Amino acid sequence: MLRFSEISLFLVPLALFVTWRVLGSRTPPALVWSALTLIVLLAVGTVWFGLSNRLGRRDVYVPAHVEDGRIVPGRGVQK
């Protein structure tokens, strides 16, 4: 499943390009800087999220499975 940040990292540059093509030289510089700032913030947020939710070096991933009719989500366990 795609995350919001992944979709945003695709759509923000696309929206910026469409705005540039439609408005041409009338594009206000504040709009360009706002879009660039948003892209940088989304990239930093994605990197932070990835680093904060990664498994440890000695952790082993246990995939999702069914126990007693319930779905147990995937997780990392100590080796």
Question: In which band, very low, low, confident or very high, does the pLDDT at 2 lie, cut at 50, 70 and 90?
Answer: low
In tens, the pLDDT along 8-34 reads 778 888 887 887 787 777 777 888 788
No. of H helices and E strands in the chain? 2, 4
**Domains of the chain by residue range:** 4-78
Report the interhelical angle of 29-52 vs 4-23 (nearest 10°).
Answer: 170
Residue 62 pLDDT greater than 90, yes or no: yes
Q: Report pLDDT for 39.
A: 83
Residue 1 pLDDT greater than 50, yes or no: no
In SS3 terms, 23-59 reads as HHHHCCHHHHHHHHHHHHHHHHHHHHHHHHCCCCCCE
In tens, the pLDDT along 33-54 reads 888 898 889 888 888 888 887 8
